[in-house]
Amino acid sequence: MRILTIALAVAALLTGAARADTIRVGVTAGPHAEILDVVKKVAAGRGLDIKVVEFTDYVVPNQALALGDLEANSFQHEPYLKNQLSKTGWKIVKVANTIASPQGVYSLKYRKLADLPDGARVAIANDPSNGARGLMILALHGVIKLKDPNNVASTIADITDNPKRLRFVELDAAQLPRALQDVDLVSINNNYAVQAGLNPATDAIAREAADGPWVNILAVREEDKDKPWVKQLTDAYHSDEVRAFLEKRFNGTYIATW
């Protein structure tokens, strides 16, 4: 009987040791969610259980992480995170790069930027980093000039030359695809573009360079950055399975950075 009791106790310990940890990872709906579903499958085979939590905007995922409602998030580039941290003081850090995704500008009326008429209405994101991103695309292609074309915090006030007298409309990033019907040109973050049925690689009339500062990241609370599950999550994301999924599913719209 004593031997049986010991055997059962050892079995219970082994079962507990094999039980996967569970972490909650926040993503925006669309491509980031699709990618994390693949990461989740890879991680499960390595002993890490991931619960994917979807959001419909860019503000709440960092707030949820800071408040302890998530263990990590995967939806943003580093300039956006730095901008939010400068305003909030949240203790969130980048732990890995994930994907690069050159953003584009779209129009239902014009086939190239040179066709934009004087006074055209241009919609950009109303959050600082993604608004700057839209302006930087226009500056890259010579439509406007910025005080510093490499400043990831550029605003409309930093435009030094606007020969076409473009009129800018600032909207929540998630609402930008809907603006296509109402304005002449829209800068749309790729996850929302893909959700709306657009292909940034073929439908955008102009795109940013692939080697810009906008590489997406995994982020965690600063206190967690050295925990074992962070490396497990990163390794699962940086796996051959995820790379193959990106190549097959997105065909150049989202590019592995590892």
Q: How open is the CA angle 227-228-234, to the nearest 5 degrees?
A: 100
pLDDT tens for 55-71 read 998 889 999 999 999 99
Which of the four pLDDT bands, split at 50, 70 and 90, describes residue 75? Answer: very high
Distance CA 25, CA 22 (A): 10
In this structure, which amino acid lies at residue 24? R
Q: Specify the pLDDT at position 12.
A: 38
Mean residue pLDDT across the chain: 91
CA–centroid distance for 226 within its chain: 23
Burial bucket for residue 254 (CB in 10 Å: 0-12, 13-18, 19+): buried
pLDDT at 8 (0 to 100): 37
What is the band of 210 on the pLDDT scale with cuts at 50, 70, 90?
A: confident
> Which CATH code for domain 20-101+214-256?
3.40.190.10
Q: Residue 153 carries which DSSP code?
A: T
Beta strands in 115-205 (DSSP E): 121-125, 145-146, 159-161, 167-171, 185-188
Q: How far is Cα 169 from Cα 47, in angstroms, rounded to an integer?
A: 47
pLDDT at residue 252, rounded to an integer: 83
Note whether 107 and 185 are within 8 A (CB). yes
Which CATH code, of 2.40.50.100, 3.40.190.10, 3.10.150.10, 3.40.1190.20, is assigned to 107-207?
3.40.190.10
- Helix or strand holding residue 187 (H, E): strand 185-188
Query: Rounded to whole angstroms, how far apart are CA atoms 144 and 168?
Result: 12
Question: Contact 176/130 with Cβ under 8 angstroms?
Answer: no
**Tell me: the pLDDT tens digits for 16-48?**
333 347 999 999 999 999 999 999 999 999 999
- pTM of the shown model: 0.76
Question: Which residues of the chain does CATH 3.40.190.10 include?
Answer: 20-101+214-256, 107-207
Q: What is the pLDDT of residues 116-145, one digit of tens each?
A: 999 999 999 998 889 999 999 999 999 999
